[in-house]
């Protein structure tokens, strides 16, 4: 973006001063919040590879939230599957502060700050919540709201109950970015994500609510890069909403292998 300024001088002439302002694009994704700490996104965009060694006859089962946002997925073996949905969201922004964003589907995503470093990001249709830490992305000027687990300290409980009181809610559902909150049953083929239930009085029930799906996973072909749809929503030049990419790995190989899934943020549109 180029800004032009005219500077008048004493003799009545004018000098044109050209100031070039570079606005860097938003980060495309927060990769692997289950496996990375918030400090890992301060360096900006990067690639993460999940690697799983398997011996002949060993059956693997691995679940993860691979990313929130626009990524490509590429596996070196079969056995990998992915799914996107509207269960949780987060944001990347050029400024902080409370805000509400409406997605093309009509889902509203609300950001509710409760101190200088942390915020709730809420899917208002489902009342599902991510507790996030707000971190700078390198020197880009963007801030990533990175999901973090919580032990429900006083500040977090107060934030959740204050949010519920201001919205007239009796409970909300908090996703903890931990592996035991993401489960796939190999027998029933049902994928489950658990949420802690938090009531307006501040009571917490671990894994008190769950969302399930048995139909929406897509198999990844070995060596083929795939970019899942419906994970990246530009609200305006300063705000982007990121949706989840869940992955499953399940395989019983006929030979010892090292299976890997590479998750790479893509250039934003």
pLDDT at residue 5 in the model: 36
Using CA atoms, how far apart are residues 73 and 249, in angstroms rounded to an integer?
Answer: 13
Residue 18 covered by a domain: no
Query: In 3D, which of 107, 121, 212 has the Cα closest to residue 159?
Result: 121
- Residues 6 or more apart whose CB falls under 8 angstroms from that of 85 comprise 213, 216, 243, 244, 246
Q: Does 13 reside within a domain?
A: no
Q: At a CB cut-off of 8 Å and minimum separation 6, what does 138 contact?
A: 42, 43, 44
The lowest-confidence range among 37-41, 76-80, 141-145, 194-198 is 37-41
Residue 23 pLDDT > 60 = no
Query: Confidence band (pLDDT; 50, 70, 90) for 15?
Result: low
Q: Could you tell me if residue 2 is inside a domain?
A: no
Q: Is residue 166 domain-resident?
A: yes
What is the extent of the structural domain holding 249?
26-265
Domain membership of residue 105 (yes or no) is yes
Residues 6+ apart with CB under 8 A from 8: 14
Count: domains in the chain: 1
> Is 206 contained in some domain?
yes
User: Is residue 248 domain-resident?
Assistant: yes
**Which residue carries 């687990």 as its tokens?**
149
Mean pLDDT, all residues of the chain: 89
The residue assigned the tokens 């030979």 is 255
pLDDT surpasses 60 at 3: no
- Between the alpha carbon of residue 261 and those of residues 32, 42, 244, the distances in Å are 12, 23, 16
Highest mean pLDDT among 34-48, 55-69, 184-198: 184-198
């Amino acid at each position: 973006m180029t800004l032009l300024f005219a500077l008048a001088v004493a003799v009545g002439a004018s000098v044109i001063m050209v100031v070039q302002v570079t606005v860097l694009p938003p980060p495309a994704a927060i990769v692997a919040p289950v496996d990375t700490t918030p400090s890992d996104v301060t360096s900006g965009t990067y690639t993460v590879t999940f690697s799983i060694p398997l011996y002949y006859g060993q059956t693997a089962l691995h679940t993860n939230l691979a990313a929130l946002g626009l990524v490509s997925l590429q596996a070196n073996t079969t056995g990998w599957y992915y799914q996107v949905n509207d269960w949780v969201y987060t944001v990347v922004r050029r400024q902080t502060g409370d805000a509400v964003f409406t997605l093309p589907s009509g889902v509203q995503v609300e950001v509710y700050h409760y101190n200088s470093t942390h915020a709730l990001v809420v899917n208002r249709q489902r009342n599902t919540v991510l507790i996030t830490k707000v971190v700078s992305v390198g020197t880009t000027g963007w801030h990533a709201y990175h999901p973090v687990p919580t032990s429900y300290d006083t500040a977090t409980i107060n934030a959740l109950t204050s949010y519920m009181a201001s919205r007239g809610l009796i409970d909300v559902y908090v996703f903890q970015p931990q592996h035991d909150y993401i489960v796939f049953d190999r027998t029933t083929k049902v994928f489950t994500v658990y949420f802690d239930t938090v009531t307006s009085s501040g009571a917490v029930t671990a894994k008190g609510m769950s969302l399930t799906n048995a139909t929406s996973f897509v198999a990844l072909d070995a060596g083929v890069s795939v970019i899942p749809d419906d994970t990246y929503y530009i609200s305006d030049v300063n705000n982007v909403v990121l949706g989840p990419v869940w992955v499953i790995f399940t395989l019983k190989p006929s030979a010892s292998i090292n299976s890997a899934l590479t998750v790479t943020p893509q250039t934003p549109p």
